[in-house]
Amino acid sequence: MTKRSDAITKGFERTPHRALLKSTGVPNDQMDRPFIGIASSFTDLIPGHTGMRDLERFIEKGVHTGGGYSFIFGIPGVCDGIAMGHKGMHYSLPTRELIADMVESIAEAHRLDGLVLLTNCDKITPGMLMAAARLDIPCIVVTAGPSLTGTGRNGRRFSFVTDTFEAMGQYKAGVIDEKQLFECEESACPTAGSCQGMFTANTMAVLTETLGMSLPRCGTASAVSSLKRRIAFASGERIVGLVRDQITPRQILTRAAFENAIRVDLALGGSSNTVLHLLAIAHEAKIPLPLELFDELGKTTPQLAHMNPGGPNFMEDLDTAGGVLAVLYQLRDQIIDNPTLLGPSIAQLIASVAEVDEDVVRPVSSPIRPEGGLAVLKGNLAPQGAIVKQSGVSEKMMTFSGRARCYNSEEDAMAALLAGEIVAGDVVVIRYEGPKGGPGMREMLAPTATLMGLGLGDSVALITDGRFSGGTRGPCIGHISPEAAQGGPIALVRDGDTIALDIPARSLELKVAPAELEQRRSAWRAPEPKIKTGWLARYAKVVTNASTGAVCNAD
C-alpha cells in the first residue's frame, strides 16, 4: 500500500526525516505502519475536554491494536460558557477556522495517513469536521460526550444553562434568593463533559454521528462512561482500516448525509448554531447546501423529542432511549441511505434497532410539534434569512408585533435589561454583532437567559445579527443577514419602529415605508471597527455573513 507517510519514511533521501522520527521514539520496525494523527483538543480550561487524556490513551491502544502508529498533537479550544458576556466571546466562532487550519497544517506538514479527531465543544467539532472535509484523507471523529445532570432536593435535576444563566435573571427578579443561586452554581456541572442539554456541543456530536463520521452511540454516550472509552478504542482501531481501504470523508459527507443530519437536528430541536456549522462543513466538502433547505426540510420533519433547554429530557435520557439510531429509526421513512465510516450503511444501522423509548423519542405519528425545531425567516429586515429555534418559542409568541429598542452591542442591551428598561411589547434589537461587525458573531446567552429569568419570555422578542447559545429559548431571532456592518436593513432600525414577527409564515418585517428606509440608507455610514488589531481584525475582512455559514473567503 502506498501511503502519504512514505514521503517521510521511504528512500535514502529521507534519512534525516527518519532520524527525527526515531528521536521521538518511533522504532525502526514501525516505519512501515500507517501514521495516524490524534488531533486532541484536551485542555484544562473546558469542562467538556478535561477527560480527554483518558480517551487519548484508549484511542492510542486502538490505533496500535489495528496496526497503525499514533501521534498526538494539540488543537485549541474555547469554552463558550466561560467566554460568554465579555471580550472573549469575540474569539469563539473564529476559532472554528483556526482549528480547521491547524488540523490541515499538521496533517499536511507531517504527511499523516489518517486522523482521529478528538473533540467535544461548540466550535471545535465543526472545525475538526471542516478540516476532515477539506483534507479528504481518512478521518474518524470521537466526541468526548456530555456531562451528567446534577441532582438536588426532591429529585430536581440541574443543568448548566437553565440553572446558571437563567438563574441570574431569576435572582435579579427576586424569584430565588442568594442561597438558591449558589445551589445552582454548585450543582449545575457535576462531572466532566459537555453541557447536558441539546445545546450546540451535543447537537454537533449527534449530527457527527448522523453524518456517518463517528461510531454508533458516540454522539450521546456520557463523557464519564466506560462506553465512551470503548468507542474511543474502536475508533482508533477503525481508522487504520479506513486508511487501508482508502475511505475518505467526502465519500461519506454526501448531500444525503447533510439532509439526514438536518432532519435529525430538526427532530431534536437542536441548536440554531448548527445551521452555521453544517453550511461551513458542506462548503469544505464541496456540497451545495442552501440555507433554504433547512426550512424546506423543517416543514416536513416533525419535532420528536422534547430536549432541554425547551423540554425535560437531557442527553443521558436520549442515550438510554436509543441515542441517534432511535431518532433515525423514528424518521426512517424520510432518511436517505448513505455510507458510514463503520461499514454498515445508515439503512443497515436503522434495521438493527430493536427498541426505542417513545417517551423520549416519539413516533412520527405522535410528535411534539408537526414541524422541526428550526425555522428560516425572511422579510425586509432579513432579505438573506434569519434563524429562530421555534422549538423553544411559546405558542403565544409565534406571532408578535412590538416596538424596537435598538442597541449596538450586547453590553448595552444587557445593561438595559438589568436596569429594567425593557418592558412588555418591546423588540430588543442587538446589532453590529455579526461575523464582521462583532467581529466574530458573539453568542449571546446572557441577554436571552435574562429575558427568560425576568419573566419576559412571553412578552418581549429579541432579534440580532449575532447568534445564540444552543441553550437559548424564547422568541429570539438570530443570524439576520445581511448584517448591520454590511449595511443590512437591521442597521436602519430606529427606536420605536414596529417590528412584526410571524414564525408560521416565516416572516420578519420592519414596518417602515420603503421611501423612509431608502432615506435612512443614504444617510447610513459604516461605523469604525470594534477591533482594529490582531487576528480578529484580519478575520473581519474575509468572513462572509451567516447565510453562507460565516466561512472565510480565500480571496
Indicate which residue of 92, 469, 481, 547 is catalytic.
469
Q: What is the spatial distance between Cα 145 and Cα 95, in angstroms, rounded to a whole number?
A: 20
Residue 396, marked binder: no
Q: Residue 318, Cβ neighbours under 10 Å: how many?
A: 26
Is residue 123 annotated as involved in ligand binding?
A: yes
Q: If we measure between CA atoms, which residue out of 98, 94, 327 comes closest to residue 202?
A: 327
Question: Any catalytic annotation for residue 469?
Answer: yes
Grid cell 526515531 is found at 22
Dihedral angle at the C-alpha atoms of 254, 257, 259, 260, nearest 10 degrees? 170
Q: Whole-angstrom Cα distance, residue 292 to residue 377?
A: 9
| Whether 442 contacts 90, CB under 8 Å | yes
- Establish whether 80 is an annotated binding residue: yes
Sequence-ordered list of residues with C-beta below 8 angstroms from that of 206, at least 6 positions apart, any chain: 198, 219, 220, 264, 265, 268, 270, 324, 327
Whether 348 and 216 have beta carbons less than 8 Å apart is answered as no
Cα separation values, 63 from 36, 59, 71, 117, 234, Å: 7, 6, 10, 13, 9
Q: Is 122 annotated as a binding residue?
A: yes
Q: Cα angle at 206 between 201 and 211, to 5 degrees?
A: 120
**Cell digits of residue 162:** 437553565
End-to-end CA distance of the chain: 37
Q: Which residues of 116-125 are buried (b: 16+ CB within 10 A; e: fewer)?
A: bbbbbbbbbb
Residue numbering of the annotated binding site for Mg(2+): 80, 122-123, 443
| Catalytic residue list | 469
Binding residue positions: 80, 122-123, 443
